[in-house]
């Protein structure tokens, strides 16, 4: 009988689900890392929330562990790469607390609008400062929505019910989906200029970190009020403090902080600032939902091998897996390449297969493409939830099978329509196992997509390769592989390099200034 440890406080119904499914379960919470290391070796599954930190040391001690289930969305407390290397599946429950988080954002918006915490403290201190707390109505105001995914769309619907106007910034929000939601799709600068209230509902990635920077905060309307129930690090907290002190920002409410637990912050004690201790998902209903979901998912995996909401493993039947795994590796890399190179103005994506690939189940291939494509915007995207997230944003996903074989015995192509026109990349398998890029935006280039890479579009001219090599060499950056392609002699050319380390911004800037260079982009796979 499989054995599961619940190491964080969860609804008691979760343990009962395990027992009903034939899984032995222990509820042992509040253990130190050393105490957890001493007992984790006897368990097949581990159910956690945010308190338990699943580190390399814990995983090394977990000699029988097969699966980790996080009751909730965030998996910052799990070393997923190391878990993958140990053969441990990591699952989360990404949609169990969406309404709760959205409602908390709306609650904080009202608290800001009417200065409720300060008014409460003043009144209970025996004061009656009726004239001091002159709030504002939300009716008729413009809500700026940064992130229009699952939670963001719920916030938008609630705001519209309050007779607010909603302006949304989300790279994956299509015009059609915006109309369906009843919101105005806008770029970030337009949102900052229009919004009376701004609420953030986006994951923390390299692209979204400090999205409300000092510079962007200065672009906001004077008197704006800001709410963040998403992730710490989306706002420059020092800059926000300055904006509150100057009066440019009329109020801010944060449920999340760059460093948590937030025992101290430059914002603490600032007038018109409200804070809560990461309560976005903390309602009875949400905690029950995620606890039940994680128990069901772990039970299914341990008893039947079923995989749901895994962050490091696709949902596949035992029969399909051996054939599809190399294709999914190829598809994920192609999706990631398009996601990194194509513009943000995207409303559709097509996955085409031909040759041997056309005879396989295309759904896992599509899921892998979408997983790679959307990873730059979400750290928690996976093959299970990527199609859902794409649909949620109104992304038109097409699957095309070509019965005839082309130049390659098997081929996967990923295409998007952008404001600059159609863009596509294609790849094949060498030896039915090794993923290989063979075409990028209409130019033939054979390359492995792995690690840190550099993409350069340039005019085909003598001496260019030498200048690139000299620039990188001077910066101490070693080139691993060197891959070239061009449309025609003297025309547009593409250079795709693998390098041993990430490229600093100043080196990218230097490469961009070389004669003939049209575009330079650092890539990571």
In order of 197, 285, 322, 358, the CA distances from 363 in angstroms are 40, 33, 15, 11
Provide mean pLDDT across the span 17-27. Answer: 96
198 has pLDDT over 90: yes
Output the pLDDT for position 345.
Answer: 67
Residue 151 CB neighbours (<10 A): 27
60 has pLDDT over 90: yes
Q: How far is CA 18 from the centre of its chain?
A: 30
pLDDT band at 87 (very low <50, low <70, confident <90, very high): confident
Cα dihedral: 433, 434, 440, 446 (round 10): -130
Output the pLDDT for position 239.
Answer: 97
The per-residue DSSP string of 193-214 comes to HH-SEEEE-----TTTTTSB-H
Token code pair at residue 121: 């403290």
Q: Name the least confident of 86-90, 143-147, 210-214, 232-236.
A: 86-90
pLDDT band at 114 (very low <50, low <70, confident <90, very high): very high
pLDDT-above-70 percentage for the chain: 96
Distance CA 413, CA 194 (A): 40
382 has pLDDT over 80: no
Output the pLDDT for position 389.
Answer: 75
Using one digit for the tens of pLDDT, what is the confidence trace for 274-297? 999 999 988 889 889 999 999 999
Active-site residue, selected from the candidate residues 215, 260, 359, 399: 260
CA atoms within 13 A on the CB side of 14: 30
Provide mean pLDDT across the span 379-407. Answer: 79
Residue 207 CB neighbours (<10 A): 12
193 has pLDDT over 60: yes
Output the pLDDT for position 317.
Answer: 59
260 is catalytic: yes
Output the pLDDT for position 319.
Answer: 62
Distance CA 119, CA 130 (A): 9
Active-site residue, selected from the candidate residues 49, 158, 231, 423: 231
Token code pair at residue 344: 């943000």
Distance CA 418, CA 409 (A): 29
Q: What are the beta bridge partners of residue 456?
A: 495, 520
138 has pLDDT over 80: yes
pLDDT band at 24 (very low <50, low <70, confident <90, very high): very high
The per-residue DSSP string of 278-296 comes to S-TT-SHHHHHHHHHHHHH
Output the pLDDT for position 380.
Answer: 62
Output the pLDDT for position 222.
Answer: 96
Query: Edge-to-edge, what's the strand order for the sheet holding 45-48?
Result: 24-27, 3-6, 45-48, 67-70, 89-92
- Which burial class, exposed, middle or buried, applies to 441 when counting CB atoms under 10 A from its CB (0-12, 13-18, 19+)? buried
pLDDT band at 367 (very low <50, low <70, confident <90, very high): confident
Provide mean pLDDT across the span 366-389. Answer: 78
Q: Taking the model in full, what pTM does it have?
A: 0.71
Q: Is the dihedral of CA 467, 468, 473, 475 positive or negative?
A: positive
pLDDT-above-90 percentage for the chain: 70
Strands 396-402 and 421-430, how do they pair? unpaired
Using one digit for the tens of pLDDT, what is the confidence trace for 319-349? 666 788 899 899 999 999 998 988 666 788 9
Output the pLDDT for position 73.
Answer: 81
Burial readout 175-185 (b: 16 or more C-beta within 10 A, e: otherwise): eebbeebebbb
List domains and CATH numbers for the chain. Answer: 3-96+284-304 (3.40.50.720), 98-275 (3.40.50.720), 320-441 (3.30.1330.90), 448-525 (3.30.70.260)
| Helix or strand (DSSP H, E) at 309 | none
318 has pLDDT over 60: no
161 has pLDDT over 80: yes
Token code pair at residue 106: 């709306």
pLDDT band at 9 (very low <50, low <70, confident <90, very high): very high
10 has pLDDT over 90: yes
Output the pLDDT for position 384.
Answer: 58
Asked if 460 and 491 touch (Cβ cutoff 8 Å), the reply is yes
278 is catalytic: yes
Active-site residue, selected from the candidate residues 278, 375, 393, 413: 278
404 has pLDDT over 90: no
| Rg, the chain, Cα only | 25
Provide mean pLDDT across the span 215-236. Answer: 96
Question: Which DSSP symbol is given to 369?
Answer: H
- Which burial class, exposed, middle or buried, applies to 230 when counting CB atoms under 10 A from its CB (0-12, 13-18, 19+)? buried
247 has pLDDT over 90: yes
Output the pLDDT for position 344.
Answer: 66
Residue 247 CB neighbours (<10 A): 11
Residue 333 CB neighbours (<10 A): 24
Output the pLDDT for position 447.
Answer: 92
In order of 84, 256, 379, the CA distances from 53 in angstroms are 16, 19, 18
Residue whose C-alpha is closest to residue 68's, from 294, 288, 269, 282? 294
Output the pLDDT for position 310.
Answer: 86
């Amino acid at each position: 009988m499989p054995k599961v440890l619940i190491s964080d406080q969860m609804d008691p119904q979760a343990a009962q689900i395990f027992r009903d499914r034939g899984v032995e379960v222990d509820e042992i919470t509040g253990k130190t890392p050393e105490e957890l290391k001493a007992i984790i070796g006897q368990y097949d599954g581990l159910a956690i929330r945010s308190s338990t930190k699943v580190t390399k040391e814990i995983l090394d001690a977990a000699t029988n562990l097969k699966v980790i289930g996080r009751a909730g969305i965030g998996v910052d407390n799990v070393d997923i790469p190391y878990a993958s290397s140990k053969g441990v599946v990591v699952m989360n429950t990404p949609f169990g607390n969406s309404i709760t988080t959205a409602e908390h954002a709306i609650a904080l918006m009202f608290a800001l609008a009417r200065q409720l915490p300060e008014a409460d403290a003043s009144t209970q201190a025996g004061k009656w400062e009726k004239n001091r707390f002159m709030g504002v109505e939300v009716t008729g105001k413009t809500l700026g929505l940064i992130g229009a995914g699952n939670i963001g769309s719920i916030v938008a619907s609630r705001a519209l019910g309050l007779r607010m106007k909603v302006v949304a910034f989300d790279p994956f929000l299509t015009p059609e989906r915006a109309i369906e939601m009843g919101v105005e799709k806008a770029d970030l600068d337009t949102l900052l200029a229009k919004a009376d209230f701004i609420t953030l509902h986006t994951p923390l990635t390299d692209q979204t970190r400090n999205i409300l920077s000092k510079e962007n905060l200065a672009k906001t309307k004077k008197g704006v009020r800001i709410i963040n129930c998403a992730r710490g690090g989306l706002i420059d907290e020092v800059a926000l403090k300055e904006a509150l002190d100057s009066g440019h920002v009329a109020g801010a409410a944060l449920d999340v902080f760059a460093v948590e637990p937030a025992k101290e912050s430059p914002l603490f004690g600032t007038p018109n600032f409200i804070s809560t201790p990461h309560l976005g998902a903390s309602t009875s209903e949400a905690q029950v939902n995620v606890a039940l979901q994680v128990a069901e998912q772990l039970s299914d995996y341990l008893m039947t091998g079923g995989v749901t909401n895994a962050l490091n493993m696709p949902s596949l039947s035992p029969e399909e897996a051996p054939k599809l795994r190399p294709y999914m590796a190829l598809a994920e890399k192609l999706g990631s390449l398009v996601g990194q190179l194509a513009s943000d103005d995207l409303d559709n994506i097509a996955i085409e297969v031909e040759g041997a690939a056309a005879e396989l189940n295309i759904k896992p291939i599509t899921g892998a493409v979408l997983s790679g494509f959307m990873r730059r915007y979400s750290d928690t995207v996976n093959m299970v939830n990527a199609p859902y997230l794409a649909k949620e944003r109104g992304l038109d996903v097409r699957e095309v099978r070509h019965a005839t074989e082309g130049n390659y015995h098997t081929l996967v192509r990923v295409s998007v329509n952008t404001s600059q026109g159609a863009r596509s990349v294609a790849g094949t398998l060498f030896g039915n196992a090794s993923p290989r890029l063979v075409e990028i935006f209409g130019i033939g280039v054979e390359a492995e997509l792995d690690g840190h890479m550099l993409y350069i579009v340039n005019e085909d001219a003598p001496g260019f390769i030498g200048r690139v090599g000299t620039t990188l060499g001077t910066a101490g950056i070693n080139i691993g592989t060197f891959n070239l392609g061009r449309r025609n002699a003297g025309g547009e050319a593409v250079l795709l390099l693998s390098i041993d380390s990430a490229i600093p911004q100043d080196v990218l800037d230097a490469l961009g200034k070389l004669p003939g260079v049209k575009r330079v982009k650092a890539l990571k796979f």
